[in-house]
Amino acid sequence: MANKHTAFGLDADLEAKKAAKYDFALEAEAMAWLKAVTDQSPAEGQSVHEFLKDGQVLCNLANTLKDGAVKRVNTSKMAFKQMENINSFLEAVTAYGVPVADLFATVDLFEDKNMGQVVITLHAVGRAAQKNNFKGPVLGAKIAEKNERNFSQEQLDAGKFTPSQQAGNNKGASQKGMFTGRREIDVLTHNEMLAARAGGN
C-alpha cells in the first residue's frame, strides 16, 4: 500500500524475518493452480498481493470449487467492498472444509501484512478440494482420512494372551552402572530446619 509505514527496530526485524520465510516456490504452485482452476493470473509485473487484493479472484475460486459458495462478488473499488469479498471467500472455504488454523486474516491480504499466510491458505484450499473430490487440477497432498479399526471382542480377548516375548522385551537393559556414585549433599531434616530458623531470630 502507498501509505504503509516504514518499520524500525523490532518491527523491522520481524518484517525481515517474515520476508526471509516467504516461500516463492509455494507461491508459484498456488498461482499456477489458481490459473488452472479459474483461468485468471496476475498481469505482467503485478504482484500476488495486487492480483488478489480486491477478493474477486478468490470469490471466483470458491464458486468454481462449489457452485454458489459466494452469493455476491463485489466489483466495486471501495475498500470495504473488497474486504467484504475477502471475508466472503474465507467464510466459503471454511464451509468447504479448510481448517480455521490455515486461514489468513482479511488484513493479511488487504494490507499486505502476511502474504505467506495467504499462500498457505490457498494450499489448504487445494487440499480441501481434493478431499471434496474436485475433478479439476490439484494442489498439494490430499488430506488423510480417518482409518478406524474395529476389533471383535474375540480378537480383543485373544490379544490379552499374546506371549510377552512377541510384545517386545527389554532383556539386558538396565541402568546399572550409569551413575558414578552417590552425591554427598548435606541435607537438614524438616525439623532441624525449623529449629535453625527459630534459633536464628
The domains found in the chain, sorted by start residue, are: 23-131 (1.10.418.10)
Encoded amino acid at 199, one letter = G
Question: Within 13 A of 197's CA, how many CA atoms are on the CB side?
Answer: 7
Encoded amino acid at 198, one letter = A
For 45-65, what is each residue's pLDDT tens digit? 899 999 999 999 999 999 999
Contact 30, 123 (CB under 8 A): yes
Q: How many degrees, rounded to 5, is the angle at CA 75 between CA 57 and CA 98?
A: 35
Mean pLDDT of the chain, nearest integer? 84
Confidence of residue 1 (pLDDT cuts 50, 70, 90): very low
The model carries a pTM of 0.67
Nearest to 109 by CA among 91, 86, 92: 86
Nearest to 31 by CA among 108, 128, 126, 97: 126
Confidence of residue 81 (pLDDT cuts 50, 70, 90): very high
**pLDDT value at residue 23:** 80
**pLDDT value at residue 195:** 76
**pLDDT value at residue 149:** 87
For 7-42, what is each residue's pLDDT tens digit? 677 777 777 777 777 788 899 999 999 999 999 999
Number of CB atoms found within 10 A of residue 36's CB = 13
For 152-174, what is each residue's pLDDT tens digit? 999 888 888 776 665 566 666 66
For 122-139, what is each residue's pLDDT tens digit? 999 999 999 999 999 999
Better-scored residue on pLDDT, 122 or 147: 122
**pLDDT value at residue 32:** 94
**pLDDT value at residue 168:** 60
DSSP 43: P
Encoded amino acid at 30, one letter = A
